[in-house]
Amino acid sequence: MIEHLFDEHGIVLRRDLVAMGIHDQAILRLRRSGCLARVRHGVYADPARWTAAGPRHRHLMLTHGVLQLYGDDVAASHISAALLQGAPEWGMPLADVHLTDLYAAGERRQASVHHHQGRCDVHDVTKVGEHWVTTPVRTALDTAAILPRDPAVVLLDDFLHRGLVTKEGLSAELTRRQQWSAHLDLLLKVDHASLGSESVGETRARMLFQDHGMPAPVLQLEVHDETGALIGRVDFAWPARKVIVEFDGRQKYHRYRRPGETLEQAIMREKRREDRLREQGWIVVRMTWSDLEHPAPFLARLRFRLEHAAA
């Protein structure tokens, strides 16, 4: 068995196999017998881990292999750096590993690797383990520049929410990088970003409201009862109209589940919280992933609620 050949990420390089005396014919036999999975030229993976991995994990495995291959000449950047830094992958194409060459080599694509041309100063990169990765500010802007608006704003919101970047830091870096070809587009994307959205669904909902001319909601409003006790924090609120929208993503229940609490108990606690909100005169409108994909009926319901409450 050859499990001991793989690193902690389930990756081994051809050059390392050759250094151990396992040459190309033996590598080919290992591939044919299902003991090695080829993920790109010169990079192999543990087939069990590769088969079990989803698109995000496969991208990360490939990224680790490519970084080993290129060493200190490159930094993981753009989408690859964003995933290494914990960003949600919604809306991101994951086929290619993204690198920025630290010695300003030309932009090119080859064998599942996108080499970006771009100057990296000392403050633009940081060492993570043995490899260079662009800093969160640089990563956020680089990645937002190559994504459509909504996935870009999802990424920016996530980095803001987790405290990896600040709006001021992003704006300062944009000012420093006015020569970027995507400068104006990035200004708009950064302007859309908000600290108050805590998930992909919440960001997408916020952009949907904006695109369809809804009044701007208050994000993460704390609602109290008549005694001043906190009932809870809500995703979107229109306080003057006492209308709330809660994004009903299943991950929310996992995220806010208390120690020792089952998922069912967390859902029941959320329903009791909703009852208390209604007792205080709030209208609670639930939004789901399906509403994001087919928004017209939901938007009609919300518009009716807002107009009815304002009447």
Look at 15-24, 33-42, 174-183 and tell me which has the smallest mean pLDDT: 174-183
* Residue 46 pLDDT exceeds 60: yes
Quick one: pLDDT at residue 254?
Answer: 57
Q: By C-alpha distance, which of 130, 80, 74, 76 is closest to 104?
A: 74
pTM of the model: 0.91
Identify the band that residue 221 occupies on the pLDDT scale cut at 50, 70 and 90. Answer: very high
Query: What are the residues whose beta carbons fall under 8 Å from the beta carbon of 132, sequence distance 6 or more?
Result: 72, 74, 75, 76, 102, 125, 126
- The predicted model gives 249-267 an average pLDDT of 68
Quick one: pLDDT at residue 249?
Answer: 59
Angstrom distance (rounded) from CA 165 to CA 184: 20
- Helix (H) / strand (E) containing 158: helix 149-161
Domains of the chain: 3-52 (no CATH), 68-192 (no CATH), 200-310 (3.40.960.10)
Asked if residue 277 lies in contact with residue 221, where contact means CB atoms within 8 angstroms, the answer is: no
Q: What percent of the chain stands above pLDDT 70?
A: 94
Angstrom distance (rounded) from CA 55 to CA 127: 25
Q: What percent of the chain stands above pLDDT 90?
A: 77
Burial of 17 (0-12, 13-18, 19+ CB in 10 A): buried
What six digits make up the tokens of 13? 């390089």
Note the pLDDT tens digit of each residue in 131-148.
Answer: 999 999 999 999 999 999
Query: What are the residues whose beta carbons fall under 8 Å from the beta carbon of 273, sequence distance 6 or more?
Result: 231, 232
Asked if residue 106 lies in contact with residue 136, where contact means CB atoms within 8 angstroms, the answer is: no
Supply the DSSP symbol for 25.
H
Strand blocks (E) in 4-49: 11-13, 37-40, 43-45
DSSP labels, 171-208: HHHHHHTTT-TTHHHHHHHHHH--TT--SHHHHHHHHH
* Residue 1 pLDDT exceeds 90: no
Q: By C-alpha distance, which of 79, 96, 76 is closest to 87?
A: 79
Identify the band that residue 266 occupies on the pLDDT scale cut at 50, 70 and 90. Answer: confident
* Residue 171 pLDDT exceeds 80: yes
Look at 17-31, 170-184, 230-244 and tell me which has the smallest mean pLDDT: 170-184
Note the pLDDT tens digit of each residue in 187-215.
Answer: 999 999 999 999 999 999 999 999 999 99
